[in-house]
Chains A and B, each alone.
Chain A
Amino acid sequence: MASRTLPDDRGRFGDFGGRFVPETLMTALGELERAFAEAQADASFREELDGLLHNYAGRPTPLYFAENLSRKLSGAGADEPPSLRIYLKREDLAHTGAHKINNALGQGLLARRLGKRRIIAETGAGQHGVATATVCAMLGLECIVYMGAVDVQRQALNVFRMKLLGAEVRVVESGSRTLKDAINEAIRDWVTNVTTTHYLLGSAVGPHPYPLMVREFQSVIGSEAREQLLAAEGRLPDYALACVGGGSNAIGLFHPFYDDESVRFIGVEAAGEGLSTGRRAASLSAGRPGVLHGAYSYLLQDEAGQVEETHSISAGLDYPGVGPELSFYKESGRAQFAAVTDDEALDGFRLLSETEGIIPALEPAHALAYLAKLAPDIAKDSLVLVCLSGRGDKDMETVAQALGVDLV
């Protein structure tokens, strides 16, 4: 079944997806689905969004040939051509420093179309919260961001950024006090204020139509990269790599290449302290299907169906679920999924900083770390596309702490 025709009208990607929410939200989800479909068909909506993506967010983002990294991972000498050619899709250069702005702009315009002037959002690493606060400031919308107390602590800089942008940050103290609980709290808010409020969900998770909508707004990543790579190399990549938490940058990169069967998709999850330790956040690698936050998808859960607490050094990957379309990719074999540990991610973080002078966020550092492990097994002259989903400024404190460096 072609993914382009999915989800079906019940919001299913194969078995995955759906709409498992309290009845109170069902009417709003139906309205959102219709409004999104109408907006997609409306040339003036596309035009306004494209204009903002270009003039406000700085798109298209560059596609950068990482020659030093390619050489290093090929094991090639300084004067030899590298046997691998690695290209980075520079979402870190988009306004606010990550791919999250693509979706925030799309949904912000949609909320305005729905006449909803109060916006709520969840955030883990704070990137989606910052992107949402940014768009709300620009569109003149009220903005409330839910953020787990643990994340507030490890991403203090982004909390400050959100406040500067005029958003109210509500600290979530329940459960594991991370992204999962921020989503719970955002859903509780939405249930209570559904007639006036749009929930600007930041990943390709949640009830239908969110996984579809977020994929469509993020597909600009893959569409641009496809065009840019064809222009640079005259051919499609052999591999496309992205990190996977909820999976919005991954599905945004992969989807436009879906029908290009020669392009191998690899999603890289967070193994935390190791897949077998219980301190990890790799739902596709270590979970089994279940229902959380409105969708049937891979989920880290115990025998009794209770959602497990997760761990990752990267707040943006620290989530027990994953988008339903990536679960479908796993089941159908269209994508492979791997996981790397916190320590490996730190190695990936340093690798790109030192070879290319680009400090990545800890999230895409997972994809880079896996690429470093995979490189010896990749055929000569392969073309590799990596989504560099965000920049690392927000992670300075976390990395310094992990490396035992005192910043003060």
Chain B
Amino acid sequence: MSGSDTSPGRIEQTFARARDDGRLAFIAYLTAGYPEPDATPALVEALIAGGVDALELGIPFSDPLADGPTIQRSTFQALQGGMTAARCLELVRELRNKGVVIPIILMTYYNPILAYGQDRFIQDAAAAGMDGLIGIDLPPEEAEELAAQCRANSVDLIPLLAPTSTDERIGLAVRQASGFVYCVSVAGVTGARKALPSELWGLLQRVRRQTELPLAVGFGISRREHVEALQGQADAAIVGSAIIDVIEESPRAEREAKVKEYVEVLTGRRKARN
């Protein structure tokens, strides 16, 4: 159940539906305003057509210290196009007006929220149609005020947990969380990787022991076989850098089609060509 609202939120409903279907939920990341300021709505449409269950929208920040080269590049390009937290909220509103009903989760470093005004940001974002928030550099110890504001506005505050998180820290994080838990697959930065790291499985077991919230796995996922490996171990896969790579590599006219095709492969709707 999300926030103070008694009706289940979009995130909760989405996970419940995927569970009923016996499949992983699929969450796709886009950097807001990448590659051009107005590129995002068409890309979201392509993601949804490809079978994405929820959207993670990154607010670009000048110093993305948890991100690898792919998302760094997309971030700088989006910033050059003038993307800000305020414009990102306009974008969420636009997506809702266009009929996008999947959960939208904003992912950001803390400073753009602070500069906007923390309380006002949560209120405005909730009003615009944001369902959840991930603070990349905001561990639970520093997130108490934000968590209260999220609860008051029925926004899920989604914690990040990593293989280096102790059981004590996992407890601290899940007590503050709603919606789902973001399990970082590896000690490292974002970016597509060849294989899922072995330390992920231990993390999933340790988190599962302390919460019934759905577990989503992100960082490094780029292939159908990664998604298949998560089946039965987690509730959702999050793919970011690999999608940005597809956008980066595609000619502009084919961009949406390539993104849709890639997501169809990842979600198993389409067989990979090789």
Contact = CB atoms under 8 A, between A and B. Distances in A.
Nearest to B162: A24
Nearest to A303: B115
Contacts of A299: 111
B195 interface: no
A174 B112 contact: no
Dominant SS among interface residues on chain A: mixed
Contact of B111 (A10, A192, A305): A305
A291 B187 contact: no
A355 interface: no
Given A10-B141, A19-B142, A23-B159, A191 B115 contact: no
A183 B61 CA distance: 15
B177 to A, nearest CB: 12
B146 to A, nearest CB: 12
B63 A184 contact: yes
Nearest to B108: A305
A27 B166 contact: yes
A55 interface: no
B169 A26 contact: yes
From A184, A187, A304, residue with most partner B Cβ within 10 Å: A304
Contact of A184 (B65, B79, B84, B166): B65
Interface in B76-108: 76, 79, 84-86
Interface string B135-153: 0111101100000000000
Interface string A266-308: 0000000000000000000000001111100001010111110
B115 A21 contact: no
A25 B142 CA distance: 14
Interface string B41-76: 000000000000000000001111111100010001
Contacts of B65: 22, 183-184, 187-188, 191, 293
Interface in B217-237: none
Contacts of B142: 18-20
A175 B62 contact: yes
A394 interface: no
A350 interface: no
Contacts of A183: 65
Nearest to B85: A304
Interface string A303-318: 1111100000000000
Interface residues of B, number: 42
A22 to B, nearest CB: 4
A219 to B, nearest CB: 27
Given A27-B166, A28-B164, A292-B63, A304 B188 contact: no
A262 interface: no
A195 interface: yes
A22 B62 contact: no
B63 A307 contact: yes
Contact of B137 (A10, A174, A294, A307): A294
B116 interface: yes
Contact of A23 (B76, B111, B115, B161): B161
Contact of B115 (A25, A184, A194, A290): A290
Interface in A338-376: none
A247 B163 CA distance: 34
Contacts of A187: 65-66
A100 interface: no
Given A21-B137, A291-B114, A192 B165 contact: no
Nearest to A309: B62
A359 B81 CA distance: 45
Interface string B115-142: 1100000000000000000001111011
Which 6 residue pairs of A and B lie closest in terms of their CB atoms, listed nearest first?
A305-B115, A304-B84, A24-B162, A305-B112, A192-B188, A306-B62
Interface of B: 61-68, 72, 76, 79, 84-86, 109-116, 136-139, 141-142, 159-166, 169, 173, 184, 187-189
Given A23-B161, A175-B62, A306-B111, 7 more contacts: A18-B142, A22-B137, A188-B66, A188-B67, A291-B111, A303-B115, A306-B61
9 contacts: A19-B139, A22-B136, A24-B164, A27-B164, A191-B188, A301-B115, A305-B111, A305-B114, A307-B111
